[in-house]
Chains A and B, each alone.
Chain A
Amino acid sequence: MSGHVAPKSLYCTVFVTLMVFTGLTVWVAFYDLGLYSNIVALGIACIKATLVILFFMHVRWSTRLTWVVVMSGFFWLLILFGLGMSDYLSRGWVQGTLR
């Protein structure tokens, strides 16, 4: 079996990066950035998740088919959030026109 063997140093670099981002997200949470607080917090979480998926989970070296399956999962999640929130956030508008 000839799976890609990543060097230990790469795993350690990814680990250190994850630690730095964890520290950053805690540090930035104590500052009031208004609406950007959520964007920064979720942006950092997305970067961390991407690092774990690409390197720890070996997707970086996986087949195209695996890429498609992984991406489809997150794409469907975005559909859930997008359509779900457009429904919930606009409910008041519909009530306003009906009554």
Chain B
Amino acid sequence: MAADGHARVAAEGAHGVRHPRLQHHFDDMEQQAEASTLGMWVFLVTEIMFFGGLFMAYLVYRTQMPDAFREASHHLDITLGATNTVILIVSSLTMALAVRSAQTGQPAKTQVGWLVATMVFGAAFLGIKAIEYTEKFRDHIVPGPFFEWHGTYPRGAEMFYSLYFAMTGLHALHMVVGLGIMTVMASLAWRGRFDDTYYTPIEVSGLYWHFVDIVWIFLFPLLYLIGRH
């Protein structure tokens, strides 16, 4: 009984008022936020291994057929790739500022503004990706029965583009999921759910968004920039 009373005092905090967003199994808001952040990082570690398998496959095939990979990479549009890299990094900045606006208790309008900006850049990324994919389909360099390659290494090029579509496709899927998460966050922010005392959902969504950015930071040089000289 005495221990129960003790826990309640801790939960209610110094002001004696329990935060409405504090779940009963946490002592205080700080512990709750820490648990959520840690949980998100554990998920992101599984994501590292998820993408890691594809990076491993890339590494294996690139060491087996380096010349073919260079030739195949040459067909990718470096301008579109670099533009998308810039767009994603800008979206990471707006995401960081979205989290910050909640952290500092800015009005809902400001929070939603940064979130929507992040979504606009995310959508722009997917738009450019769609243009690139369309070009690949038009030029018959999508692996499968209709694959055509007028270079020295058709088999190696098909392998490169298999990895290209698997890796960028999985990345694009993560972007689509990210846009969904940001839609939910924007609607929650709009309803004034986040302030300087409670912003964990927006913080944790930010972690996811930045992770997807990091994956692209590695995909860009590995897919677009090999064998340019």
> A residues engaging B (CB < 8 A)?
1-3, 5-6, 8, 11-12, 14-15, 18-19, 22, 25-26, 29-32, 37-38, 41-42, 44-45, 48-49, 52-53, 55-58, 62-63, 65-66, 69-70, 72-74, 76-77, 80-81, 84-85, 88-89
Q: Does the CB pair A56–B92 fall under 8 Å?
A: yes
Q: Does the CB pair B207–A1 fall under 8 Å?
A: no
Q: Please judge, given known A-B contacts A80-B52, A89-B63, whether A1 and B45 are in contact too, CB under 8 Å.
A: no
With an 8 A cutoff between CB atoms, is B30 at the interface?
yes
Q: Is the interface of A mostly helix, strand, loop or mixed?
A: helix
Q: Which residues of A contact B71 (CB under 8 A)?
A: none
Q: Does the CB pair A52–B63 fall under 8 Å?
A: no
Q: Is the interface of B mostly helix, strand, loop or mixed?
A: helix
Binding stretch for chain A, among B35-43, B150-158, B174-182: B35-43
Q: Which residues of A contact B77 (CB under 8 A)?
A: none
Q: Does the CB pair B100–A29 fall under 8 Å?
A: no
With an 8 A cutoff between CB atoms, is B78 at the interface?
yes
Q: Does the CB pair B60–A1 fall under 8 Å?
A: no
Query: Contact partner of A84 among B33, B59, B92, B199, CB < 8 A?
Result: B59
Nearest to B21 among chain A residues (CB) is A1
> How far, in Å, is B216 (CB) from chain A's closest CB?
10
